[in-house]
Amino acid sequence: MADILEVAEGLQYQTSDEKQAYQITTTNWASDPTSTSVTAYIDSTNVDVTSTVFPTNSPSETGDVISLSLLQGLTRGTLYRIEVQFTVGSSVYECYFKVMCSR
């Protein structure tokens, strides 16, 4: 069963050669997010690898959509947990998704 904070799309797959810009729609949590921050971890060890896989870590918000910077430089066979925190009013929300580097 998925954790309540996990995005509905669930596990994503990406190869070590790809660069993907993921988007998250926040409508299920709240509207008009601001102050977004993104942190990437190796799921099995909780090691923070944000600076490696998001060398340009500048998420942006448009309406209810958060656009992440390119996720890149993944290591084959590694499962990553991408945590996204954002603010709406005085509340801080967090969600996450996982990315498996398949080859």
Domain boundaries, the chain: 12-101
Residue range 86-92: mean pLDDT, rounded = 93
CATH number of this structure's domain 12-101: 2.60.40.1220
Question: What is the Cα–Cα distance from 70 to 74, expressed in whole angstroms?
Answer: 11
Q: What is the pLDDT of residue 1?
A: 39
The residue written with tokens 């102050």 in the block is 35
Please say whether the beta carbons of 99 and 12 come within 8 A.
yes
- Percentage of the chain lying above the pLDDT 90 cut: 83
> Closest Cα partner for 14 from 76, 56, 95?
76
Judge residue 4's burial from the number of C-beta atoms within 10 Å of its C-beta, 0-12 exposed, 13-18 middle, 19 or more buried.
Answer: exposed
